[in-house]
Every structure is written in C-alpha cells, then in structure tokens.
C-alpha cells in the first residue's frame, strides 16, 4: 500500500508543477563535496513528498523545469544534486546565490524544516510526468454560462475600463475591483497561483491562467462579475492571451503550457478547445532536441492575426497565425535562450523579450516578422515583466527592464526611424535599490518610472519601491517609498487615467488573522503620497487595469 501511495504522489507532483531554484550561479566555482547522502538520508515519506510537491511547485518550476534538467536555473537531477552534498544544497536554498536565486529561507518564505525536506526531495529521481492531450483538455472544459445567457449590456454603471483584475495568488482567486470607488466588486475562484490575467479586446472578459494550467474567463458586464467558462489546458502553465487584430476581436484565446510543452487555441467566448500544438523542438543554437521547451509568455500582434509565443528552452520566438485556428501557421524566429517575459515598444511594432540566462533582450519586428537585435543588458537576469516605455529627453523613445540578479535598470532606445543611432542599444544603465527586481512600470500620462524589489536579499527593500523622474534619468537619482511593514511590495499598475499607482503587498495566508495576508496601497502619482489602502485581500500579487491591458500601455 505504501509503495502504491508513493507512486501516486510522484504522478501528482508533476500534475501540479515542478521544483525550486537551488544551484549556484553558473560562473561560481564551488568545491564539490566528497560526502554523498546515503539512501537513508534522502528517503521521504508520502506525506513529506506531498509537502515538498507544493513547495517545489510554488518556488522552483519556473527556473529548473518539470524534468529538472535546468533552464534559467541549473540542472537539479540527482546526478548533479548528490554531488553537491546536503550541506551545500541547504545553503543555496536558505541563502540564495549571487546569480539571482532568492534566499527562500532567509526571506522567511520557507521554514528550516521545509528546507531540509527540499534538500532530500531534489536528491530523489524525478518521476516520469504524465501527458495532457486533447481528450483530457476537452474533459476539463466547463461552459458555466453560455453566451446567449449572458448580459447584452453592462448590468451596472461602473466604468469597466477602469476595473482591475487582481490576482490573489495563494488563495487561488481573482478579485475584481472598481478603480474609481476602490470597492471589491467580486471575488471569484481561479486556477492555483495565477500568473497573469489578460483582457479581451472589447474589455468585457478577463482571462486568467493558473500555474495548474487552469484557464478561466470572467464576464465584467455581470452585476457581480463571475466566471462563465473554465478549462485546464495543461498541468503547469503561465501564459494566456487573446486575438486582438481587426476582425478577430474577442474571437480566440490561446494558452501556453509549461507541462506538457504545448499551446492550445480556444474559442474566445466559451473556451471550447479548438487545436492543441506541441512545442517539442530543437534548440536554436546547437540544434539539440529539448524534451521541455515551455511557452514562457505570449503577446498579441497589432500588425497581423498572430500571437507571439516565446519558447523558453529552445530560444525560439514563434509567430502563430490564427486566421485558421485548426491549421495555424507558425513562423519560427531564432532568438536566444532562455526566453521569459517581455512587452511591446510604444509603437506596438517591436516586441522586446528577456533571454535571462544570457542577460540579453531579443527584439522582434512584428511587422517584418524577424529578429532585429540581441542586446546585452549589462545586468544579471533581466526581468522586465512587460517593461516600461517613455520618451527620454536625450534619446527619444525608450523601453526599460530591471534585473533579478543585479541592482541596475537598463534603458534601451527603441526608435530606429528618428533616433537610429540609439536604437536597440542600452542608452542608460541606472542604479536601483537592490537586486531582486520583478517589475518596472510607467504610463504615458506620468512623469515617473516605478520599480519594485520584492526578491531583495535585504528585508527593508522588499517593502520599498524606487521612483525615477523621466526627465532626469541621467542623474540616476530615485526616491524611496516605503509601502508596508510586512510582506513584499510587488507589481505596480496604473489606473486608466494614469494618475494613480496601485502596489500589492503580498503577505502570507497564514497571517490573515493578524491582518497581514495582503492589501493594495494606492499612491497619487503626481504627489507620490498614499491615497488609499484596499485591505483584507489574500496574497495579492499581479493586478491588471482593463484599459491599460487591452491597449498595452506600460
């Protein structure tokens, strides 16, 4: 019975996620310990395995992969981990590394006991993960409210364009908040650990994607917005987007999978699955077969009926034509490894995406459908989110990214027409508060650029944000704003007008009774003073204003 339960747990582990960032920076020389843990030392009970599964899924899948063969983070298969030794592995998990891995223990994210269990977990062989084919996808599909039964016009007088979809990450929910009144209008269940939300071109529907591969769509026209359809497109996922090109508005959606490595095209209104496509392929540089090329991020082109899919491990950008979703055309563009997040420049023609294992930004021309530049950012592990666009007084239109592994902001010229001498070059490298940055944000109506550092090794910077003056970036001076005294200050988002900035305080579910599970702090963007606090939220992280998300303003 014990053996059967253990086998079941091994399968479940891969049906939910992966494992945690652990090994040291690739360039760091480490003395390999001769002591290798004995079989007795690395045995886990089924209960311990299940506990590790949750931690592994939450903290590790993104960097090390379901198969644990490495991507942005190093290989974590037993042949590598056992050679490091238990002591060294524990130090990596607890203290982090100079290469950008957070110190999960030192930050208080996991306990000493859980750290010890993780050390054992990664010295065990990874189980063979299950697949998730169209039969499984269709079986998971639930049309809760058919289109003909939905409102024909908004059932409220709220400004839908200024609503916010807020990810309550660890609670597995989405909060819909009125941007004008700051009222939580509705809280609906979603997938687990939702990574992002995206809006239909009309602004009516909110699409979420959980780390468990569950996609949901919420109708904002309802008196109380609620889920109208859901589907599980994969077992681990982080990306979703919709069709935006003229004539295809609100028609299709697409979900990119981490495991299995694939994407699924869906009906935009109902989420009925149309087509599933594997991303199994070969690395762009060495042309070696890769068993886990994950869809890291997706954006919708404004120049063609296409989605831009970033295939992480192979270093390819795929332009997927959805004109005929049953036979999608795919153009593969060689870029760099390992692709992660990115966003459009101010013209929406050029897509800039981080290849954060190579510390580069790849630039894709969506109009000409080609790679136009690979830019060395001069920092470790760029992590732009969608980045930030503004007009620099010296260099013209620019886009910027922060870094997980470096205390630097890289500002890149993006105007090859009027400022060709600055285009696709780092025109400014500016100091930031700390390493551990995840998001950078601005708005066309704002004079400021905001930067968070929730993964900083220094506790004081995790709850502090930096604010830069666009007109005086050359000075490299920023204002420090303390946002909270607990949790992590993460992910800035503007309201529709661009005169408010919303910042999440990501606390812990276990601290709900102390009022420290989370809240949103709203700042007046002109005065940089606190304007409101939306309390009682459970672990808020990303938040997305409808208007800004539809129009790709960042």
Task: Report the pLDDT averaged over residues 312-316.
Answer: 97
With 90 as the cut, is the pLDDT of residue 1 above it? no
Task: Report the pLDDT averaged over residues 263-286.
Answer: 98
Q: Is residue 443 part of a domain?
A: no
pLDDT for 25 equals 34
The count of domains in the chain is 2
Residue scoring higher pLDDT (49 or 472): 472
Task: Report the pLDDT averaged over residues 312-324.
Answer: 97
Q: Is residue 248 part of a domain?
A: no
Which tens digit of pLDDT belongs to each residue from 162-186?
A: 999 999 999 999 999 999 999 999 9
Residue scoring higher pLDDT (27 or 423): 423
Three-state secondary-structure class, residue 64: helix
H or E segment at 520? strand 518-524
E strands in 121-183: 142-143, 163-168, 173-178
Residue scoring higher pLDDT (335 or 99): 335
Q: Is 339 within 8 Å of 311 (Cβ atoms)?
A: yes
Q: Is residue 351 part of a domain?
A: yes
Task: Report the pLDDT averaged over residues 322-342.
Answer: 97
With 80 as the cut, is the pLDDT of residue 489 above it? yes
Q: Is residue 48 part of a domain?
A: yes
E strands in 233-392: 236-242, 252-259, 262-267, 273-278, 281-282, 289-290, 295-300, 306-311, 316-321, 329-334, 339-344, 350-355, 360-365, 370-376, 388-392
Q: Beta strand pairing status for 350-355 and 339-344? A: antiparallel
Q: Is residue 300 part of a domain?
A: yes
Task: Report the pLDDT averaged over residues 249-256.
Answer: 98
pLDDT for 24 equals 35
Which tens digit of pLDDT belongs to each residue from 431-460?
A: 999 999 999 999 999 999 999 999 999 999
pLDDT-wise least confident of 11-15, 114-118, 481-485: 11-15
Q: What count of other Cβ atoms lies within 10 Å of the Cβ of residue 18?
A: 29
With 80 as the cut, is the pLDDT of residue 6 above it? no
Confidence of residue 32 (pLDDT cuts 50, 70, 90): very low
pLDDT for 30 equals 31
pLDDT-wise least confident of 48-57, 110-119, 389-398, 456-465: 48-57
pLDDT-wise least confident of 71-75, 139-143, 464-468, 480-484: 71-75
Q: Is 166 within 8 Å of 543 (Cβ atoms)?
A: yes
Confidence of residue 65 (pLDDT cuts 50, 70, 90): confident
With 60 as the cut, is the pLDDT of residue 4 above it? no
pLDDT for 61 equals 63
Q: Is residue 541 part of a domain?
A: no
144-151 long-range CB contacts below 8 Å, 24 or more apart? 144/227, 144/228, 144/229, 144/230, 145/219, 145/226, 145/228, 145/229, 146/270, 147/269, 147/270, 150/219, 150/221, 150/222, 150/228, 151/219, 151/221, 151/222
Q: Is residue 205 part of a domain?
A: no
For the chain, give the percent of residues with pLDDT over 90. Answer: 76
**Whole-angstrom Cα distance, residue 114 to residue 118?**
6
Please give the C-alpha separations between residue 14 and each of 48, 255, 378, 421, in angstroms, as whole numbers. 16, 18, 36, 48
Instruction: Select from 102, 121, 140 the last residue of a domain.
Output: 121
**Whole-angstrom Cα distance, residue 71 to residue 60?**
11
Q: Is residue 34 part of a domain?
A: yes
Q: Is 541 within 8 Å of 504 (Cβ atoms)?
A: yes
**Whole-angstrom Cα distance, residue 319 to residue 536?**
41
Confidence of residue 376 (pLDDT cuts 50, 70, 90): very high
With 50 as the cut, is the pLDDT of residue 26 above it? no
Length of the chain as a residue count:
554
With 60 as the cut, is the pLDDT of residue 380 above it? yes
Strand partners, 544: 165
Which residues are designated catalytic? 60, 63-64, 101, 340, 383
Domain that holds residue 75: 2-121
Q: Beta strand pairing status for 426-431 and 440-441? A: unpaired
pLDDT-wise least confident of 26-30, 143-147, 236-240: 26-30
Confidence of residue 473 (pLDDT cuts 50, 70, 90): very high
**Whole-angstrom Cα distance, residue 412 to residue 99?**
23
H or E segment at 55? helix 46-59
Instruction: Select from 73, 105, 121 the last residue of a domain.
Output: 121
Mean pLDDT over all residues of the chain? 90
Task: Report the pLDDT averaged over residues 449-476.
Answer: 96
Instruction: Output the domain CATH number for residue 22.
Output: 1.10.760.10
With 70 as the cut, is the pLDDT of residue 481 above it? yes
Q: Is 207 within 8 Å of 232 (Cβ atoms)?
A: no
pLDDT for 98 equals 66
**Which tokens hold the place of 433?**
């508060």
**Whole-angstrom Cα distance, residue 208 to residue 195?**
8
Instruction: Select from 121, 152, 170 the last residue of a domain.
Output: 121
Residues 6+ apart with CB under 8 A from 61: 17, 18, 19, 211, 236, 258
Alpha helix (H) ranges present in 340-474?
Answer: 459-462
**Whole-angstrom Cα distance, residue 277 to residue 309?**
12
Which tens digit of pLDDT belongs to each residue from 518-552?
A: 999 999 999 999 999 999 999 999 999 999 999 99
Confidence of residue 20 (pLDDT cuts 50, 70, 90): very low
Nearest to 526 by CA among 497, 548, 503: 497
Instruction: Output the domain CATH number for residue 368.
Output: 2.130.10.10
Nearest to 517 by CA among 208, 177, 168: 168
With 50 as the cut, is the pLDDT of residue 14 above it? no
pLDDT for 256 equals 98
In the 8-state DSSP scheme, what is residue 125?
P
Task: Report the pLDDT averaged over residues 72-99.
Answer: 83
pLDDT-wise least confident of 29-38, 117-126, 317-326, 337-346: 29-38
Please give the C-alpha separations between residue 370 and each of 308, 364, 467, in angstroms, as whole numbers. 11, 6, 34
Sheet holding 370-376, edge to edge: 339-344, 350-355, 360-365, 370-376
pLDDT for 100 equals 67
């Amino acid at each position: 019975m014990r053996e059967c339960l253990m086998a079941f747990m091994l399968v479940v582990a891969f049906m939910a996620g992966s494992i945690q960032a652990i090994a040291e920076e690739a360039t760091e020389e480490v003395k390999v310990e001769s002591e290798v843990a004995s079989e007795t030392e690395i045995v886990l009970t089924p209960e311990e395995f299940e506990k590790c599964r949750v931690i592994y899924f939450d903290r590790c899948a993104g960097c090390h992969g379901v198969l644990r063969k490495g991507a942005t983070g190093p290989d974590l298969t037993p042949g590598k981990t056992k050679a490091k030794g238990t002591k060294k592995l524990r130090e990596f998990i607890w203290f982090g590394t100079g290469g950008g891995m957070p110190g999960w223990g030192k930050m208080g994210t996991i306990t000493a006991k859980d750290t010890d269990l993780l050390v054992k977990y990664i010295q065990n062989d990874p189980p063979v993960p299950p697949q998730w084919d169209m039969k499984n996808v269709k079986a998971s599909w639930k049309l809760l409210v058919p289109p003909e039964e939905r409102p024909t016009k908004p059932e409220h007088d709220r400004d839908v364009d200024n609503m916010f979809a807020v990810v309550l990450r660890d609670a597995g929910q989405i909060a819909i908040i009125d941007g004008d009144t700051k009222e939580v209008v509705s809280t609906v269940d979603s997938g687990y650990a939702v990574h992002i939300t995206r809006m239909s071109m009309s602004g009516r529907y909110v699409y979420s994607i959980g780390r468990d591969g569950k996609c949901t769509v919420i109708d904002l026209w309802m008196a109380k917005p609620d889920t109208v359809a859901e589907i599980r497109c994969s077992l681990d996922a982080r990306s979703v987007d919709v069709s935006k090109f003229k004539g295809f508005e609100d028609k299709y959606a697409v979900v990119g999978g981490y495991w299995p490595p694939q994407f699924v095209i869906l009906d935009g209104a109902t989420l009925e699955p149309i087509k599933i496509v594997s991303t199994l392929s070969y690395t762009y540089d060495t042309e070696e077969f890769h068993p886990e090329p994950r869809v890291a991020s997706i954006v919708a082109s404004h120049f063609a009926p296409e989605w831009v899919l970033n295939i992480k491990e192979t270093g390819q950008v795929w332009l997927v034509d959805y004109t005929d979703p049953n036979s999608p055309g795919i153009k593969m563009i060689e870029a760099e490894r390992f692709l992660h997040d990115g966003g459009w420049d101010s013209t929406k023609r050029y897509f800039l995406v981080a290849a954060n294992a190579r510390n580069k930004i790849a630039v894709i021309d969506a109009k000409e459908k080609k790679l136009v530049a690979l830019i060395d950012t001069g920092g470790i592990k760029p992590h732009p989110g969608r980045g930030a666009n503004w007009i620099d007084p010296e260099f013209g239109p620019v886009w910027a990214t922060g870094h997980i592994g470096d205390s630097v902001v890289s500002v890149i010229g993006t105007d090859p027409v009027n400022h060709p001498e600055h285009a696709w070059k780092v025109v400014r490298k500016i100091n930031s508060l700390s390493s551990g940055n995840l998001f950078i944000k601005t708005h066309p109506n704002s004079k400021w650029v905001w930067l968070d550092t929730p993964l900083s090794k220094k506790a004081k910077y995790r709850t502090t944000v930096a604010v830069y003056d666009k007109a005086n970036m050359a000075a490299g001076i920023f204002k420090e704003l303390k946002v909270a005294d607990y949790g992590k200050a993460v992910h800035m988002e503007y309201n529709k007008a661009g005169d408010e900035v919303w910042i999440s305080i990501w606390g812990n579910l276990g601290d709900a009774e102390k009022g420290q599970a989370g809240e949103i702090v709203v700042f007046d963007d002109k005065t940089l003073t606190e304007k409101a606090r939306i309390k009682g939220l459970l672990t808020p992280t990303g938040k997305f204003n409808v208007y800004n998300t539809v129009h790709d303003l960042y």
